Each structure stands twice: as C-alpha cells, then as structure tokens.
Amino acid sequence: MSAPVSTTTIRAGRLTSVAAEGLSRHFGRGAERFTAVAELDLEIPVGRRIGIVGESGSGKSTLARMIAGLDEPDEGDVVVDGRPLRQVLRSRSQRVEYRRVVQLVAQDSMSSFDPLRTVRDAVRTPAEQLCGLGRAAADALADETVSALGLSPDLLDRRPHELSGGQRQRCSLARAMVVQPRLIVCDEVVSALDVSVQGQVLNLIKDYCERTGAALAFVSHGLPATAFVAEELVVMRHGRIVERGTCDEVLTAPAHPYTRQLVAAFRGRGAGSAA
C-alpha cells in the first residue's frame, strides 16, 4: 500500500507557495466576540511539510479552512503565488485551479461526506470538475486512487455510513489526492482513529508528500503524530503563532513556556505513540 500517484494523465497543478499574511478571523458579536486567529503570518512553500500544533480553540482548524479557501478571513489574506486568495476565488477558472492544487482533509470524515451520496460520487467529482476528466476516466482514477490507499474500489459504491472510520478517512484522503494537489491541508485527520489505523494514514500522507513533492499543512493537537509527518513545527496558542522551528529545534529546545508544556507531555507519553 502506497500513497497514490496516478498513472492516469492529468495536468500537473501549478503552485509555488501559499502564505498567510496578517490573517485574522473573529466569531460572534459584541461581548461574545471571539478571535480565533489573530494577525497570523505563515508561509508554506511547496515541498515543505509543516505541522501546526496547539490546544483546542487555538485557531488551528480555522486557519486550515482559510488556507483551503473554505472560510474567509476578516483581516489579512492568504497569498497564493503572490496573488490574494480573495481575488483568486473570484474568478471561476482561478478558483478551480486553486481547489485543484490545495485540498483539505477533515477530522470528521463522516460529516465531510454527503450522507446521501456514494463515496464514489465524492471521490470522482474533483477529478471531473477540477481536472476536466470525463465520467469514465474520473471513475477509473477514483478506483486507482483508492486501490493505492489499500482499499477495494468496490467500497466506493457504498455510502459513508456503510464504511468503517479508517476506510472513510482513507476515502477522504482519496478525495483529496485524486486531483494530485500541491498542498494538502490535514485538519486533525487521525484524532478520531484507533492507533493502528492512525499509523497507516500518517504513512500514506507522508509517502504522498515525499513522492510528489507536495506541501503539507498538518493540523493537530497531538505532537507525536505531527512530529512524525512534519519537517517543521508551528505552535499556536490563542490564535497566534508562539513558536516555529524544525521538529528537532522545537522538540529539543522549546523556547515558549506553552511549547515546553507540550513537549513535556509528548515525552511523558513517549514519542513513539501517535496523536
């Protein structure tokens, strides 16, 4: 089982870097106003695997959604190869191209699939809509992608509730990987899985990025899983980045008190276990 790099010919997407510049996102109004992400700057060059860690409520998932273009920042913008994402998403052709090169994989694979449609529909739609493949070619690519992820293509004809959590999460990866993205944004993708399946999924993600040179933004509250897949760690707290460095730097010499707590907890649990 290895991460899918399709033999079906699809045009390679173009992406050099994605950067968050002064990104802020607030929720609620008045006294209940809550800042999820505050004036955040972060560059994700293609080819780099970045892990974003932090406690629940630190703004990681909001950041992931904004990078994927599925949520709009209140201030600042995501800059894609020098162009603001707002501007990119306004044009249909550029929007399609962005969705083609940046794909999000969610924590709750159950809720990320339409419960009324088959998984095949979810996996082939990006191939049809974003890569311009016909139905038959998109189906073949979907089969090929799930096979490479260690699943039987027959599973594609089931509905999400008819699959196990691990199968669903791999189908979630297939939906993202079918268009061969240049940046995969993974939002807590292994936290709902049991340990053995976590390992398989982490390996698949890492393998895909290594084979294709795609970038990875791996969002997780668990340091072990993040340290396993990422080359670089970004630590977030209260919507801001409090520390950034290579995995070795952050794990061996954490500078911020919150990072030290995270690392201490990581060492307490043993670096070998995942999230």
Rounded Cα–Cα distance for residues 82 and 73 (Å)? 17
Q: In the complex with another protein, which residue's Cβ is closer, 175 or 221?
A: 175
List beta partners, residue 43.
Answer: 19
Site string for another protein, 174-213 (x = CB under 8 A): -x--------------------------------------
Q: In the complex with another protein, which residue's Cβ is closer, 126 or 166?
A: 126
Q: In the complex with another protein, which residue's Cβ is closer, 38 or 70?
A: 70
Task: State the minimum distance, in angstroms, from the CB of residue 231 to another protein.
Answer: 25
Buried-state track 228-258, b at ≥16 Cβ within 10 A, e below 16:
bbbebbbbbbebbbbbbbebeebbeebeeeb
Q: In the complex with another protein, which residue's Cβ is closer, 39 or 108?
A: 108
**31-39, 47-55, 64-72, 203-211 -> range binding another protein (CB under 8 A):** 64-72
How big is the chain, counted in residues? 275
For residue 133 the two structure tokens come to 């493949």
- Work out whether 238 is an interface residue with another protein (CB under 8 A): no
- Residue numbers 122-151 binding another protein by CB under 8 A: 122, 125-126, 129-130
User: By the 8 A CB rule, do 8 and 142 touch?
Assistant: no
Q: In the complex with another protein, which residue's Cβ is closer, 29 or 161?
A: 161
Q: In the complex with another protein, which residue's Cβ is closer, 113 or 266?
A: 113
CA distances from 178 to 7, 133, 219 (A): 11, 11, 21
- Work out whether 221 is an interface residue with another protein (CB under 8 A): no
Helix axes 119-131, 165-177, angle to 10 degrees: 10
Residue 215 backbone dihedrals phi, psi, to 5 degrees: -85, 160
- Work out whether 38 is an interface residue with another protein (CB under 8 A): no
Helix axes 135-148, 119-131, angle to 10 degrees: 120
What is the total count of residues that contact another protein (CB under 8 A)?
A: 27
- Work out whether 104 is an interface residue with another protein (CB under 8 A): yes
- Work out whether 99 is an interface residue with another protein (CB under 8 A): yes
Residue 59 backbone dihedrals phi, psi, to 5 degrees: 95, 10
The three-state secondary structure class of 157 is helix
Task: State the minimum distance, in angstroms, from the CB of residue 126 to another protein.
Answer: 4
Rounded Cα–Cα distance for residues 221 and 157 (Å)? 33
Binding site for another protein (CB under 8 A): 65, 68-70, 96, 99-100, 103-104, 106, 108, 111-117, 122, 125-126, 129-130, 159, 161-162, 175
